[in-house]
Structure 1
Amino acid sequence: MPVTNQIVVRCRKGDARAFRELYDAYSRAMYNICLRMTGHAPDAEDVLQEAFVQVFNNLSRLESDASLTAWIKRIVVNQCLSWLRKKKVRFEDVEHHDKAESPDVDESEHALTVSAVKEAIGQLPDGYRTVLSLYIFEEYSHREIADMLGISESTAKTQYMRAKEKVRQLVKLKTKEV
């Protein structure tokens, strides 16, 4: 039996050490998801804590052949979305706005650094950051994002496009400052 399955079995038996092992094995990666989606470390920590409470309370529902990582990630993403809904994050409805054209940008002219991009993503409005994070980092489709957020697929696509453009603008400003 793989180590992760052994940990799950021990968790189901109430082994406190197994709970800690499971948390230690997944918390860093799941924290990064929370941080990308909330944009603030204290909020990410709170959401992560709530997500792991859900994980521990629902381990009995995990099917033996299910991927533990995917299952935990889904709980974390759902907890982030719940937090965003409580915060009343708004997504611009594209039906009420002109569709923006994606400008032709020669990205090779920009010296994009990882830190500049991370900083720019952190500065995005919550709606943009959420869609961008779900699409790029969590690899959900626009249809899946739309379903999760209760928005149209075209709104999800437009939010993503606008988020990318905003990141480009912020990085361009940052690289000019340097």
Structure 2
Amino acid sequence: MEANVRFTHQALVEQSKAGDRNAQYQLYALYVDAMFNVAMRLLTIREDAEDVLQESFVEAFKKLDTFRFESTFGAWLKRIVINRSINHLKTKRLMLGSLENEGEPLEEDDTVEVDQLEIEKIKIGLSQLPEGYRQIITLYLIEGYDHVEIGEILGISTSTSKSQYHRAKKKLIQIVNEL
């Protein structure tokens, strides 16, 4: 079954590369919901996620000739959506100026585990995190990227990714505990 799905997706990609609009629409239909969820987790604003999603599909179809099946189409598209989302946030941040200024020392030992917290409180807590912290938490815990990959995506070092994740997790726990 899985090989059939892979073949079908590969055939749709090949047909899309050849300019088949119907195949492009089918690929869009297969991936739009999952990619919207990826954009929403990073951007949190529906309209922004919808814009980034459309831009991502346009970019993917324009660059489809560069797709070499070294990964799945979904993984390749997800990378485009994440990069577009991050670029959107960077642009927004430049326009609004820097709103986050975390200068307070962090407590050294906070033993509450994230998986023990109620899901609704975590969602509220995530929405209250500063943008950079929310990105790291989303990429690491929700999207499943490791710190090396996060460093590449965000243009930061692996150690910066790890320390930002640690700080983000502590901040999230602090917010959730205050709810």
TM-score, with structure 1 as normaliser: 0.81
Q: Which residue pairs with 2:65 in the alignment?
A: 60
Shift of 1:142: 2.0
Given candidates 25, 46, 51, the residue that maps to 2:30 is: 25
Cα distance in structure 1, aligned partners of 2:119 and 2:136: 19
Does the C-alpha gap of structure 1 residues 102 and 153 become closer, same or farther in structure 2, counting only changes over 3 Å? farther
Cα distance in structure 1, aligned partners of 2:99 and 2:152: 13
2:168 maps to 1:173: no
Describe how 1:1-178 pairs up with structure 2 within 5 A. 2-88=7-93, 100=106, 102-107=108-113, 112-174=117-179
Cα distance in structure 2, aligned partners of 1:31 and 1:14: 24
**Paired letter, 1:47:** V
Cα distance in structure 1, aligned partners of 2:138 and 2:164: 11
Does the C-alpha gap of structure 1 residues 66 and 111 become closer, same or farther in structure 2, counting only changes over 3 Å? closer
Does the C-alpha gap of structure 1 residues 66 and 106 become closer, same or farther in structure 2, counting only changes over 3 Å? closer
Render the CA deviation track for 1:34-88: whole Å, top value 9, x for unaligned. 1111121111111111111111111111114532121111111111121122123
Secondary structure in structure 2 of the residue aligned to 1:87: helix
Cα distance in structure 2, aligned partners of 1:18 and 1:3: 10
Shift of 1:19: 1.5
What residue ranges of structure 2 are gaps of 5+ in the alignment? none
Q: Give the structure, 1 or 2, with the largest relative contact order (CA under 8 Å, sep 6 or more).
A: 1
Equivalenced residue count is: 171
Q: Residue 110 of structure 2 contacts residue 170 of structure 2 at CA under 8 Å; is this kept in 1?
A: no
Q: Residue 136 of structure 2 contacts residue 164 of structure 2 at CA under 8 Å; is this kept in 1?
A: yes
Does the C-alpha gap of structure 1 residues 106 and 74 become closer, same or farther in structure 2, counting only changes over 3 Å? closer
Identity within the alignment, %: 39
Q: Residue 112 of structure 2 contacts residue 173 of structure 2 at CA under 8 Å; is this kept in 1?
A: no
Cα distance in structure 2, aligned partners of 1:19 and 1:10: 8
**Paired letter, 2:83:** N
